[in-house]
Amino acid sequence: MKGYLKYKDYLGSVEYSEKDDCLYGRVMGIRGLISYEGNSLEELKRDFYQAVDDYLKLCEQQKKMPETAFKGSFNVRIDPELHRNIVLKAKEENMTLNAFVKEALKKAVT
């Protein structure tokens, strides 16, 4: 079972552990580890909300900016030949590499 929770611009995974017979998850899209668990969906939601609130409170206490989930940039590692071919195809289409990849990713998820 997989799903997602949303709270204050953060997304959290929902997973089930058959071994432990519980639900668990972690906040997605940030480098930090924020995890939560529960024995029911309601418990899991409460623990997720509390984990996000605790993270934001800790950031405030430490006077540091909380990480923003899904900032819009990420690194992708590909083999050099594919990299070259993408650059050449982007040039053929009169596009920047970034614009070409962005368009390809949009098509892949719609």
Phi, psi torsion values for 7, nearest 5 degrees? -165, 125
- 10 in the same domain as 55: yes
- 8 in the same domain as 41: yes
Whether 72 is covered by a domain: the verdict is no
pLDDT at 2: 60
Whether 85 is covered by a domain: the verdict is yes
- 56 in the same domain as 100: no
Whether 73 is covered by a domain: the verdict is no
Q: Which domain range does residue 104 map to?
A: 80-109
Whether 56 is covered by a domain: the verdict is yes
What 8-state DSSP symbol labels residue 74? -
Classify residue 32 by burial, with Cβ atoms within 10 Å: 0-12, 13-18, 19+: exposed
pLDDT at 1: 46
Six token digits for residue 12: 């959290």
Which pLDDT tens digit goes with each residue over 36-56? 999 999 999 999 999 999 999
Task: Flag residues of the chain having pLDDT under 50.
Answer: 1
Rounded distance between C-alpha atoms, residue 108 and residue 16, angstroms = 28
- 86 in the same domain as 38: no
- C-alpha Rg value of the chain to the nearest Å: 19
pTM, full prediction = 0.71
